[in-house]
Amino acid sequence: MELTNSFEALLQSFAPAFTTPSFVTFRLLMTGWILSTRHRYVTDLIVSSDSVGHGHFSDYHRFFSQAAWQIDDLWRLLAKLIVDRLVGKDAVIVLAGDDTLCRKRGLGIFGTGMHHDALSSSRSKKVCQWGHDWVDLCIVIAHPWWAPSKVFSLVAVHFASVGAQWCVAAAKGTQREPGRRSGASGGGEQGVERGRVWRREIQRRQRLLEAALAGLSPAFHFVQDVCQ
């Protein structure tokens, strides 16, 4: 399947975040995402991008969890692309942040915790639910030339806010994931390695969050209470 030159150039902007094999898979998945007219499941992306028979289907399903690429580099490239193309290097960059609770159940789901549920809460009653809290940091594009009456918020960073109990467990060096029954996370070397992986991920996210909070401008304004 041939891509338009403009779309090909757009995807090439993100190539530094990938290895050569993983970028090929990324390119095909994004092509399927654009062309898909149904639910954008990975299987449908394979069909929509005309990739059936091009490698094993598991290569596409495992791309997000096991392929060699750096999501932090991807967000950095995306933010730079938005600023260069839509904001301008000399313009004032306006950021907007928001979070969305995705309710999840189960003992084996990584990173879940009790989070503020804005939809179920009121001014007098704060409600918390168990699940993932997905945080977005957006670059605000106000009154662009192609839509003078509109304001857009384009996502530049998107990540899950890890529950507090995961951070405590990581600090203590707990091998077993919190919330899991003994033996549920896999035994032997597999369970130990899995524990190391999620601890490193939590610690990395903690460092990123601390750095972001330390650099907040005094003009940063929260439009809603922040609670765990």
Q: For 185-218, how does the pLDDT look when each residue is reduced to its tens digit (9 = 90+)?
A: 444 455 555 556 656 666 666 566 555 555 555 5
Give the residue numbers spanning the domain of 110: 71-214
pTM to 2 decimals?
0.66
Q: State the pLDDT at residue 208.
A: 60
Answer yes or no: do 60 and 78 share one domain. Answer: no
Answer yes or no: do 55 and 100 share one domain. Answer: no
Residue 138 located in a structural domain: yes
Residue 130 located in a structural domain: yes
Domain finish residue from 13, 43, 66: 66
178 — pLDDT class (breaks 50, 70, 90): very low
Residue 183 has pLDDT above 50, yes or no: no
Which is more confident, 75 or 198?
75
Answer yes or no: do 88 and 146 share one domain. Answer: yes
Question: Tens of pLDDT along 49-70?
Answer: 888 877 777 888 888 878 888 8
Q: What percent of the chain has pLDDT over 90?
A: 6
Answer yes or no: do 59 and 135 share one domain. Answer: no
Overall number of domains in the chain: 2
Domain finish residue from 66, 88, 113: 66
Domain finish residue from 66, 81, 112: 66
Q: State the pLDDT at residue 167.
A: 57
Answer yes or no: do 104 and 187 share one domain. Answer: yes
Answer yes or no: do 54 and 108 share one domain. Answer: no
Q: How much is the average pLDDT of 42-52?
A: 84
Answer yes or no: do 130 and 35 share one domain. Answer: no
Q: State the pLDDT at residue 162.
A: 67
Answer yes or no: do 48 and 147 share one domain. Answer: no
Q: State the pLDDT at residue 23.
A: 92
Answer yes or no: do 99 and 163 share one domain. Answer: yes
Residue 159 has pLDDT above 50, yes or no: yes
> Judging by beta carbons within 10 Å of its beta carbon (0-12, 13-18, 19+), is residue 89 exposed, middle or buried?
exposed
Answer yes or no: do 13 and 105 share one domain. Answer: no
Answer yes or no: do 96 and 138 share one domain. Answer: yes
Residue 177 has pLDDT above 50, yes or no: no
Residue 15 has pLDDT above 90, yes or no: yes
116 — pLDDT class (breaks 50, 70, 90): confident
Residue 168 located in a structural domain: yes
Instruction: Give the best-scoring range by mean pLDDT among 17-21, 104-108, 171-175.
Output: 17-21
